[in-house]
Amino acid sequence: MKGALIGCGFFAQNQLNAWRDIDGVEIVALCDQDTQRLSTSASTFGIARTYTDAREMFGDGGFDFVDIVTTVGSHRALVELAASHGVHIICQKPFAATLDDGQAMVGAVRAAGKTLMVHENFRWQSPIQAAMKAVNSGAIGEPFFCRVSFRSGYDVFSGQPYLAEGERFIIEDLGIHILDIARAFLGDVDHLAATTRRINQSIKGEDVATMLLKHRNGATSVVDCSYATRRSPETFPQTLLEIDGHEGTLRLDAGYRLTLQGKTEKIVDVSPPLLPWAERPWHNIQESVRTIQQHFVDCLNAGTTPETSGEDNLKTLALVEAAYRSAKEGQTVKLSDR
């Protein structure tokens, strides 16, 4: 299977490493408007075909899928371009700047008859997968409450300076993953209420968000995110969980410690492996990149729909929109039945 990648910036290095790890896949072309980033990635990963213009790359063709690793502003144009050239697509989060854009993008790829997956990787982290497996096995009975928490003081702005510049920050960038994890555990959401704050005055958007979700199955979740939390030890980039079920509780605590309390108590170390090209503390995210990309390839080979498909991701995107609206209007927002 041959792929092309657009956007050779900060995060794409992880994706290029992960593609190199996956059997049967070769990245044959790279595109970036920044010639320095383009040539550095091409030489690091030994990729001969390079382009500064995505249209030219699609025109030359010769690949089955494209991996879009640019920031959100360019996603719609690039996804529609890829669909018009009939290739499968994996696109980074946030998938779209608005829900309307997201719907148009999903429609364009559906009309082309191709697969579209969003690189929504947090639910694919091995500690989260371990917790999901335990809940799905019935270890705590039916969950009725879930807290999904990400609180950190880690400096994300040095690697990703654009995060300090947007009107929106933590919900759109990070909360989107944490909301997706709540969906993965408890399913679709009926209504949501949110508050936001900006603590760090040198950035433009909100860096604290607290969200209360009522799920359609009757369960409640609290999704809380902060990049203004000074804690020791620093837990970036761990997502912590607390799930109550009718027959027990599950906790994923700092240090990747999974505790299951049912009729008996079990404590398991679910630390993610450190891949050869990974580095702490990012290794948790980096491993999930390889896992999600392997899932994409497996789905293409089997002709099945990826778990975090474009269509599925519209529901996570709807939660992001609802959270901003709720915080702005000071009201609970009902999700549509779509």
Token pair, residue 27, equals: 């990245």
Angle between helix 176-186 and 126-136 (nearest 10): 20
Shortest distance, position 15 Cβ to ligand NAD, whole Å: 9
Of ligand 89Y, ligand NAD, none, which one does residue 72 interact with (CB within 5 to 8 Å by kind)? ligand NAD
H or E element that contains 2: strand 2-6
Q: Using omega within 30 degrees of 0 as the cis cutoff, is the peptide bond preceding 237 cis? A: yes
Residue nearest to ligand NAD (CB): 9
Closer by beta carbon to ligand NAD, 32 or else 207: 32
CA 33 to chain centre: 24
Q: The tokens 């990245």 sit on which residue? A: 27
Q: The tokens 């559906």 sit on which residue? A: 110
C-alpha count within 13 angstroms, C-beta hemisphere, residue 230: 2
Of ligand 89Y, ligand NAD, none, which one does residue 157 interact with (CB within 5 to 8 Å by kind)? none
Shortest distance, position 177 Cβ to ligand 89Y, whole Å: 6
The Cβ of residue 25 has, within 10 Å, a number of other Cβ atoms equal to 19
Closer by beta carbon to ligand 89Y, 160 or else 261: 160
Closer by beta carbon to ligand NAD, 134 or else 163: 163
Closer by beta carbon to ligand 89Y, 32 or else 180: 180
Q: What is the DSSP string of 201-249?
A: TTSSS--EEEEEEEETTS-EEEEEEES----SS--TTPPEEEEEETTEE
Residue spans of alpha helices (H) in 64-195? 75-84, 99-112, 126-136, 170, 176-186
Please give the Cα distance from 184 to 285 (Å, whole number).
17
Closer by beta carbon to ligand 89Y, 50 or else 200: 200
Of ligand 89Y, ligand NAD, none, which one does residue 174 interact with (CB within 5 to 8 Å by kind)? ligand 89Y
Of ligand 89Y, ligand NAD, none, which one does residue 32 interact with (CB within 5 to 8 Å by kind)? ligand NAD
Task: Write out the residues near ligand 89Y by the rule CB under 6 A.
Answer: 156, 160, 173-174, 177, 237
Of ligand NAD, ligand 89Y, none, which one does residue 10 interact with (CB within 5 to 8 Å by kind)? ligand NAD
Of ligand NAD, ligand 89Y, none, which one does residue 166 interact with (CB within 5 to 8 Å by kind)? none
Task: Write out the residues near ligand NAD by the rule CB under 6 A.
Answer: 6-12, 31-34, 37, 54, 69-72, 74, 92-93, 119, 121, 160, 162, 173, 285
Closer by beta carbon to ligand NAD, 58 or else 256: 58
Shortest distance, position 156 Cβ to ligand 89Y, whole Å: 4
